[in-house]
Structure 1
Amino acid sequence: MSALIIKQINLEFFKLSLRQPIVTATSTIRERTGIVIEVIDQLHNRGLGESSPMAGFGMEPIIYTARSLKRMQRLLIGKAIASLEDIPNLLSLYNLPPAAKHGIELALLNLWASYHQTNLAKLLHSHQRSEVAVNALIGQVSPELAAQKTQQLCELGYKCFKVKVGDPQDLQRVQAVRRTVDEFSKTATTSEINTEIKIRIDANQAWTVVEAIAKLNSFSDLDIEYVEQPVSAQNLTEMAEVCRNVSIAIAADESVKNIQVLEQIIAMQAADIVILKPMVLGGILTAQKIAKIAVGAGLDVVFTTTLDGAIAQKGALQLAAMSEVHRACGVAPTELFVSYDTKINDLLTSTIPVIGGRITVI
């Protein structure tokens, strides 16, 4: 096939409001804002991308995202793409901040996939998994509400729960989730559950080293899969110290902002698992590259998002489908959102059904 030519780039701001605020140890998230990118070629194929920067992950403010994308809107018109490699090569010419780069890269990758009548996972990897296991989220709610929500999600088939911790009720909340999971597992039929239900926790940098070690030791009999970011993301020495002193696996989340930091994590043995967010890392291709380095160094990988809209969620899902990741990923549908103010809201709030704790990749 001949090269595709970029003929048009459309940008549209959006705001998605959460059904319920998500409370973490460091902030309360009530809405997500961002920009949808639509790129159209000479044959009227189109590719969609999403840029949704989130505070606290080293990403740029939305005003800089917008400024960068408007610059791309001018500079990319008329550019030819003749191979997949042309996309990262083209974007490397511009100094783009992470969320902006993620959005325009995803739009171009989706355009290239549409041009070749395939999907993103098959475009980037010949062997795509048909399903991806996903986790459900339990926020910083009361133990009673956590148990109620866990029961509902178990009945829907979820096999993995991520529980937010870092507040005075965190131990009681996780205990409530564990009791609910264990009781469900005892009464469930073989058709309802055929794999162990896992619980992971996310501290969002809530603790000091001393607090983290004490807290995690108090969780030791609850069969925790791993804990995300127990201490400051900026201090890998503290992460390594926690790793050496607890039995629960440690996952680096906010710490992982680029390849250089990953290499430091590996050298310092500061984590057992890395959580990779394409929006934070500047795109699907960078996340894929970092995942390969991590796996090669003996670390496990989990892909997730920064509470993104459906366009970015689907991109992360496709990334998980073409990887060797075996743990449940944080790429479940966008049912968290209730309202929006964009003309293409269906694209941002559409969901892919979760069946038995898994999403079918299309």
Structure 2
Amino acid sequence: MRNNLTFRWVKYILKFNKPAGTSRGVLYDKASYFIIVENNLGEIGIGECNIIPGLSPDDKPELEKHLEEICKKAETTEDISGLLPNGYPALKFAFETALTDLNQNGSRILYPSDFTNGKKFIEINGLVWMGDVDVMSRQLEDKVKNDFTCIKIKIGALNWQKELSFLKWIREKYSEKKLEIRVDANGAFTEKNVFSILDDLAKLKIHSIEQPIAAGNYDLMSKVCKNSPVDIALDEEIIGVKNRGFKEELLSIIKPQYIILKPSLIGGFSETSSWVSLCQQHKIKWWVTSALESNIGLSAIAQWTALQETTMPQGLGTGKIYTNNITSPLYLDGPKLGYNREINWDIPFLNLKKSVNQ
């Protein structure tokens, strides 16, 4: 990496093409902060600090102050690690990816592979967003028509009997051989109801459930993983756990069947790789999930994922949820995410500063 680097940041408001129901409420837009690093040859690397209101650890009033301070003080790659504050995983992800991009001459190809050469696809699951049952039904039918064989459905927001009826309707139409169903509870259930709900899910041959109870209760989550008739995947449980010893302890105590890896929420690819290494030791499976990033963050995550040689459907978004997403080589062919080098990046804020509201 060359010295004499200059850093700056831009805030960009991404607008959803329709209200997005999440476990943290309905979103109409969201902010992402982009780190732009330039060397003395004029090559530019870009990284995304993705913020999900109410969920991202970086969603703090001090974030912009930290961005300003780091960009003013940093002059080399080596400066960054000493300037990054603790408890800001998305910020770490942004600087890591920006510098990796710059190291590849600002090509936006951070991790060259058959995927970035257009010779390989990444199979993804289809996400059914939260909403009333009619809306969710239409989403599901659309995914099936587009050849998705793995669907992820958010649960825990509606009355459980309504959600269960919806899942039963799906399974009556599509067998487990035709359609793999993953559900995500975002910690919605409690000790009082979680085991009966898991029994209901098992009868429908559900593949797995993400975070059935709230994060932080290792003893109960361990009990759930041990006794559940449905495989358990940890999600929020691993956010904020950085120390390798703590990671080891968490996996040893809870013993999940899967973990969900969200690089922008757990501190970038170095932290993600650490989790993968521990999963291999503990014989725990995993998949990668994006978290409402723009195409800049999504592309970085997809490129890293393509190197892992995993065959499971991944939880990568498609970028189509925003009206003003950044044009990129990413594209979707049914349930397959691809990269087309003939499509150029179009990044509207490269020559702007501070804030863009589009």
TM-score (norm 1): 0.82
Q: 1:142 to 1:283 in 2, by over 3 A?
A: same
Alpha-carbon offset, residue 218 of structure 1: 0.8
Match of 2:166 in 1: 173
Alpha-carbon offset, residue 210 of structure 1: 2.7
SS of the equivalent of 1:18 reads strand
Match of 2:72 in 1: 74
| Greater alpha carbon shift after TM alignment, 21-30 vs 202-211 | 21-30
Q: 1:271 to 1:139 in 2, by over 3 A?
A: same
Match of 1:189 in 2: none
2:223 to 241, 246, 271: 241
Aligned length: 331
Alpha-carbon offset, residue 180 of structure 1: 4.2
Deviations 1:30-76 (A, max 9, x none): 32212111111122221111102224446122543322221221122
Gaps of 5+ in 1: 80-86, 186-194, 340-344
1:256 to 238, 261, 276: 238
| Greater alpha carbon shift after TM alignment, 222-231 vs 46-55 | 46-55
Alignment of 1:134-149 (within 5 A): 134-149=124-139
Work out the CA distance in 2 between the residues paired with 1:15 and 1:24.
Answer: 18
Q: 1:54 to 1:263 in 2, by over 3 A?
A: farther
1:357 to 335, 343, 349: 335
SS of the equivalent of 2:212 reads coil
More helix by share: 1
Work out the CA distance in 2 between the residues paired with 1:38 and 1:234.
Answer: 35
Q: Is the 8 A contact 1:157 1:355 kept in 2?
A: no
Counterpart residue type for residue 251 of structure 2: I
| Greater alpha carbon shift after TM alignment, 197-206 vs 59-68 | 59-68
Work out the CA distance in 2 between the residues paired with 1:63 and 1:137.
Answer: 31
Counterpart residue type for residue 233 of structure 1: A
Match of 1:22 in 2: 20
Counterpart residue type for residue 315 of structure 1: A
Does the alignment pair 1:208 with 2:199?
A: no
Work out the CA distance in 2 between the residues paired with 1:145 and 1:58.
Answer: 27
Alpha-carbon offset, residue 174 of structure 1: 2.1
TM-score (norm 2): 0.83
Alpha-carbon offset, residue 200 of structure 1: 0.2
Does the alignment pair 1:337 with 2:326?
A: no
Does the alignment pair 1:162 with 2:152?
A: yes
Deviations 1:300-353 (A, max 9, x none): 1111122111111111111211114332112121111125xxxxx535xx4722
Match of 2:95 in 1: 104
Q: Is the 8 A contact 1:147 1:180 kept in 2?
A: no
Work out the CA distance in 1 between the residues paired with 2:9 and 2:108.
Answer: 24
Q: CA RMSD, aligned part only?
A: 2.7
SS of the equivalent of 1:329 reads coil
| Greater alpha carbon shift after TM alignment, 200-209 vs 250-259 | 250-259
Match of 1:52 in 2: 50
Q: Is the 8 A contact 1:262 1:294 kept in 2?
A: no
Q: Is the 8 A contact 1:201 1:228 kept in 2?
A: yes
SS of the equivalent of 1:31 reads strand
Q: Is the 8 A contact 1:135 1:329 kept in 2?
A: yes
Q: 1:212 to 1:129 in 2, by over 3 A?
A: farther
Q: Is the 8 A contact 2:232 2:258 kept in 1?
A: yes
Match of 2:39 in 1: 41
Counterpart residue type for residue 44 of structure 2: R
Q: 1:65 to 1:118 in 2, by over 3 A?
A: closer
| Greater alpha carbon shift after TM alignment, 220-229 vs 7-16 | 7-16
Q: 1:242 to 1:48 in 2, by over 3 A?
A: same
Q: Is the 8 A contact 2:123 2:312 kept in 1?
A: yes
Match of 1:198 in 2: 180
Gaps of 5+ in 2: 341-358
Does the alignment pair 1:5 with 2:3?
A: yes
Work out the CA distance in 1 between the residues paired with 2:105 and 2:94.
Answer: 16
Alpha-carbon offset, residue 230 of structure 1: 0.4
Alpha-carbon offset, residue 26 of structure 1: 4.7
| Greater alpha carbon shift after TM alignment, 228-237 vs 11-20 | 11-20
Q: Is the 8 A contact 2:45 2:108 kept in 1?
A: no
Deviations 1:78-121 (A, max 9, x none): x2xxxxxxx5x653322432121111111111111226x68322
Counterpart residue type for residue 215 of structure 1: I
Q: Is the 8 A contact 1:150 1:180 kept in 2?
A: no
